[in-house]
Structure 1
Amino acid sequence: MEAFVGTGVALITPFKEDLSVDTEALAALVKDQIKNGIDYLVVLGTTAESATLTSEEKELIKSEVKKANDGKLPLVLGIGGNNTAGVVDEIKSADLAGFDAILSVSPYYNKPTQEGIFRHFKAVSEASPLPIILYNVPGRTSSNVLPETINRIARELDNVIGVKEAAGDIVQAMKLISLVPEDFKVISGDDMITLPMTLAGGQGVISVIGQGLPGEFSDMVRAGLEGRVKEAYELHYRIAPSIELIFAEGNPAGIKALLSKKGMISNVLRLPLVEASESLQSRINAFVDKF
C-alpha cells in the first residue's frame, strides 16, 4: 500500500511506575502493530505525552521505535509548536534518519489568522528535508485551519503532502476532500468518523484506538478503502463503543487503560494527565473482556 494510506497509529509512551520510559513495553507495542496490519507509525505526537518528555527521552524513544520497527513500516515524527522559529530550528537540528515524514500541528494558543497559519507552514516547509503532514486539531489549538487554507498550502507548498484532519466535522472534511489536489492526502484524525471520511475520499486515519485494536481497526480501514462498505461498517459498529470509552476522560488516559487491561503496559501517565477513573477503567475492562 502507498505510504501514509491506510491506518497509521499515534504511539503512546509507556512509562514504568517510577515514571521513566518503559522501552521494553514500547518495543513490544511497535511489534504488535506490525504483526496486526498497521500501515505506519507516528512517533512523539500528542498521544505520546510529548509535552512532558525531555529531549533525552525523545531521542531514546526515536531510537527504540526505529530499532523495534526494523524498517518494516514508514515512520512519521511529530515536530510542531506555536513558535515558528523554534519549530524551524528543531527540524533543522533534529536527527531525522529513519523517518519518512514529519507531522506538524497547527500553532496552538497564539490563535493565528489563516494567513498566519499559511506563513507558519511555509516556513516549516522550507526548513524540512522530509514531507510534511499538517495536523489540524481545533480542540487543542483553539484555531481551525479552514479547507481553503489547507487547499492553498497543498497547491503552493510542494512538500506538504497531506493533513491529519481532526476537527471532528464530516462536512468540513468533505469540503476539504473536494478542494485539494487528488494526490494530497486527507487523513482522519478522529477515530469515530474515520470510515465515513475514508468512504468520502480520504486516505485513512492516524488513530489512537488502532494501537489497542490494531487488527480489527486496520481491517475496517482497508475494507473502506477497497469499497467493501457493509463489511467495513460491521467492523465500525463493533469497535465504536471503545472509541467513546477511550476519549471519555481525555487522551491518552483511555487508551492506556485499555492497553493496561490487555497486559501490554503499566497504566501510568505523567502530570498534568492522570489515569482513567476507576469507573471508566471498569467499563473499558468490560469492553475488552467482551470484544
Structure 2
Amino acid sequence: MSSEFSKPPPSGIYVPAVLFFKADEEFDLDAIKAHVLRLAKGGVTGILVQGSNGEAQHLSHDERKFAIRFTREILDEHGFTDVLIIAGTGAQSTRETKKLCADAADAGAAYVLVLTPSTWPPQMTKENIIRFHREVADASPIPTMVYNFPVVTAGLDLDSDTIAVLAQHPNIVGTKLSCGNIGKLQRLVASAPREKFAVFAGKSDVFLQGLLSGSAGVIGALVNIAPATHKKLYDQWKSGNGLVEAMQGQILLGQADWEAQKIGGIGGIKKIVSQQFGYGERWVRGPLAPVSDDKLQSLNHDHLLELINLEKSTVGQ
C-alpha cells in the first residue's frame, strides 16, 4: 500500500447479515435475496457479509466469495448501488487472511473486517497482534478494519492503545467494537480524526451511547431484525432535536438485543426472521444448533416482539 491514507466507511447503520441455509446446510438463495433486500429497503448504509453472524468459519473459501458477490449483485440489480459491502476476512493465519481480503475485493466488497487470530492466545502478544494487522493491511487491495470481539477470539480483547496504534496505518480505517466497551470507544474516537478512522459500536444495546460518545454508528446483529427502527433512531439523533425519542428507542433496543442473545444468537435471529417476516428457515451449520419452537416459546421475548411490531409499523409509514 502507498502512504496515502484510505478513507473510512461513512457513518450510519451496518448489519452483519445472517446467511440462510436449507435443511441440508446448502445456501438458500431465495431467502438470502429476500433478506438482503429487506435490509436495504430498511435503510442500512452497508451490509457486513461473513461477519460472525454470517457463519464465516463454517464456509469454504469459494462459498465465502460467492456470498459476497451474490450480495453485491442483488443490491446492484435492485438499485441499491450505494449500499456498501464490508466483508469479514477473519482466519487463523496471516497468509489465509490476505487471500480472503483479495477474494473479498474481487467479489465486490469495499472494505474488509479482520478478526485477530486466536488459535494460540498466549502467542498473540500486543506486538504480534499489531504485526498481524499491519501485514494484512499492507497486502489488502481494499481498506481494512479491526474487529474486536473477545467472545469469538478465545477472550483476546484488544485495548484502546493497541487499536490506536493500528489506526495510524494508512490502510486501516476503522474498528468494530463488539466488546461493548464505551470507554474504549470514546478513547478511540478521541485518538484519531473521523476522516481517517471510524469507530463503530458492535452491539445495538450501546448504539445511542456510542453515538453520544462520537461513534460512526453501529454494526449490530439486531439490525437483521429491525433495520428501519435502527435507522429511525439514528436519524432522530442526527437531527439534533430528537434525543428524548432516541433515548426511548434505545431502551427498547437494549432489552430486545438481550432477549435475542438468550434465544440463541445466530439461530435465534434466523428463527425470528423466518417466523415474523416470512422468508428463510432456522437452519444453521453444525456445530451450531437451530432454535426450536419449544425453546422460543419458553423464553420471554416480549420486548423483541414489541421491537418487531415497531419495525413493521415504521416500514409501513
TM-score, length of structure 2 as denominator length = 0.85
Alpha carbons of 1:74 and 1:187: their partners in 2 closer, same or farther (altered >3 Å)? Answer: same
1:61-111 C-alpha deviation (Å, 9 max, x unpaired)? 223211211124111111122211221233345552422111111222322
Corresponding residue pairs, total: 289
**Which AA in structure 1 matches 2:142?**
L
Q: Aligned partners of 1:137 and 1:172: how far apart in 2?
A: 13
Contact 2:68–2:104 under 8 Å retained in 1: no
What SS class does the counterpart of residue 247 from structure 1 fall into?
helix
Q: Aligned partners of 1:182 and 1:55: how far apart in 2?
A: 33
After TM superposition, list the pairs within 5 Å mapping 1:130-169 onto structure 2: 130-141=142-153, 142-155=155-168, 157-169=169-181
Equivalent residue for 1:234, pick from 233, 248, 251: 248
Contact 2:49–2:85 under 8 Å retained in 1: yes
**Which AA in structure 2 matches 1:82?**
Q
Deviation at 1:193, TM superposition (A): 0.8
What SS class does the counterpart of residue 270 from structure 1 fall into?
coil
1:210 match: 223
Contact 1:6–1:222 under 8 Å retained in 2: no
2:5 match: none
Q: Aligned partners of 2:305 and 2:207: how far apart in 1?
A: 24
Alpha carbons of 1:97 and 1:18: their partners in 2 closer, same or farther (altered >3 Å)? Answer: closer
1:191 match: 204
1:79 match: 89
Q: Aligned partners of 1:43 and 1:17: how far apart in 2?
A: 21
What SS class does the counterpart of residue 173 from structure 2 fall into?
strand
1:258-283 C-alpha deviation (Å, 9 max, x unpaired)? 11211221011111111235455124
1:120 match: 132
User: Which ranges of 4 or more aligned residues in structure 1 deviate by more than 6 Å?
Assistant: none
The answer to whether the aligner puts 1:248 opposite 2:262 as a matched pair is: yes
C-alpha RMSD over aligned residues: 2.0
Contact 2:50–2:88 under 8 Å retained in 1: yes
Contact 1:147–1:176 under 8 Å retained in 2: yes
Contact 1:151–1:179 under 8 Å retained in 2: yes
Contact 1:104–1:133 under 8 Å retained in 2: yes
Deviation at 1:6, TM superposition (A): 0.8
Alpha carbons of 1:242 and 1:280: their partners in 2 closer, same or farther (altered >3 Å)? Answer: farther
Gaps of 5+ in 2: 1-7, 310-317
Q: Aligned partners of 1:72 and 1:38: how far apart in 2?
A: 10
1:28 match: 34
Contact 1:37–1:218 under 8 Å retained in 2: yes
The answer to whether the aligner puts 1:14 opposite 2:29 as a matched pair is: no
Instruction: Say which is worse superposed, 34-43 or 64-73, in terms of deviation.
Output: 64-73
What SS class does the counterpart of residue 217 from structure 1 fall into?
helix
Q: Aligned partners of 1:52 and 1:139: how far apart in 2?
A: 17
Gaps of 5+ in 1: none
2:313 match: none
What SS class does the counterpart of residue 64 from structure 1 fall into?
helix
Equivalent residue for 1:102, pick from 112, 115, 118: 112
Deviation at 1:124, TM superposition (A): 0.4
Contact 1:147–1:179 under 8 Å retained in 2: no
Instruction: Say which is worse superposed, 206-215 or 275-284, in terms of deviation.
Output: 275-284
1:64 match: 70
Contact 1:150–1:180 under 8 Å retained in 2: no
Q: Aligned partners of 1:203 and 1:82: how far apart in 2?
A: 28
1:24-46 C-alpha deviation (Å, 9 max, x unpaired)? 11111111111111111111111
1:4 match: 10
Identity %: 25
Contact 1:81–1:105 under 8 Å retained in 2: yes
Deviation at 1:285, TM superposition (A): 6.8
Q: Aligned partners of 1:9 and 1:93: how far apart in 2?
A: 20
Contact 2:65–2:107 under 8 Å retained in 1: no
The answer to whether the aligner puts 1:257 opposite 2:267 as a matched pair is: no
2:291 match: 276
Contact 1:261–1:285 under 8 Å retained in 2: no
Q: Aligned partners of 2:238 and 2:152: how far apart in 1?
A: 28
1:182 match: 194
What SS class does the counterpart of residue 96 from structure 1 fall into?
helix
Contact 2:273–2:280 under 8 Å retained in 1: yes
Alpha carbons of 1:121 and 1:12: their partners in 2 closer, same or farther (altered >3 Å)? Answer: same
What SS class does the counterpart of residue 106 from structure 2 fall into?
coil
2:44 match: 38
Q: Aligned partners of 2:56 and 2:41: how far apart in 1?
A: 25
